[in-house]
A and B are shown apart, each in its own frame.
Chain A
Amino acid sequence: QKEVEQNSGPLSVPEGAIASLNCTYSDRGSQSFFWYRQYSGKSPELIMSIYSNGDKEDGRFTAQLNKASQYVSLLIRDSQPSDSVTYLCAVNFNDYKLSFGAGTTVTVRA
């Protein structure tokens, strides 16, 4: 069974702080990893993808991948109230489709 695990939260952080979201997956051979955000009642919106071990930065977002430990994380720097949304971790287990975690809900408090 190929699984993607996320803490459901809610994760509460003060405005301006760093929000750290973690995701673990079951298949060591997985190659592609994605973070989406999903506003209530809307479809998933891509934040970023990561393919290689290490960090990948895009604006206030940094994705971190460690294939040996089978985890991928998302850091949100200078968190804003507009970042209060559900974040979905998705893994391509080399079989085309994405397997999603249950999502982590983030609340940024002013």
Chain B
Amino acid sequence: GAGVSQSPSNKVTEKGKDVELRCDPISGHTALYWYRQSLGQGLEFLIYFQGNSAPDKSGLPSDRFSAERTGGSVSTLTIQRTQQEDSAVYLCASSLPGTEQETQYFGPGTRLLVL
């Protein structure tokens, strides 16, 4: 079946602009995660959704970052007033809790460059 998809694959924006990143999880996966990977850095957790609820937003780095999920499926990560330090690869993953030790499957990522 189809894996996790993300769009856009690449995004170049100017400092101060808002951006929206989209994630479409594997069909039927109720859990969805956003991570960030800066150049040469490890993966950093941002936010977790179970259904449409976000019980863990602990990784969002500032109030410029927000995310929502609708219909228990697609999620959008929004970064307002982008800064150069926001440049990174934003990765989305999904899983089906209670199965496969809750293995998370990753999408291809969105590469964000803030000029």
Contact = CB atoms under 8 A, between A and B. Distances in A.
Nearest to B109: A43
A92 interface: yes
Interface in A27-56: 31-32, 34, 36, 42-46, 49, 51
A102 interface: yes
Given A43-B91, A49-B101, A96 B106 contact: no
Interface of A: 31-32, 34, 36, 42-46, 49, 51, 88, 90, 92, 95-103
A88 B102 contact: no
Contacts of B48: 96-97
B45 interface: yes
A101 B31 CA distance: 22
Interface in B85-115: 89, 91, 93, 97, 100-109
B1 interface: no
A47 B103 CA distance: 11
Contacts of B61: none
Given A97-B59, A103-B42, A45 B102 contact: no
A98 B100 contact: no
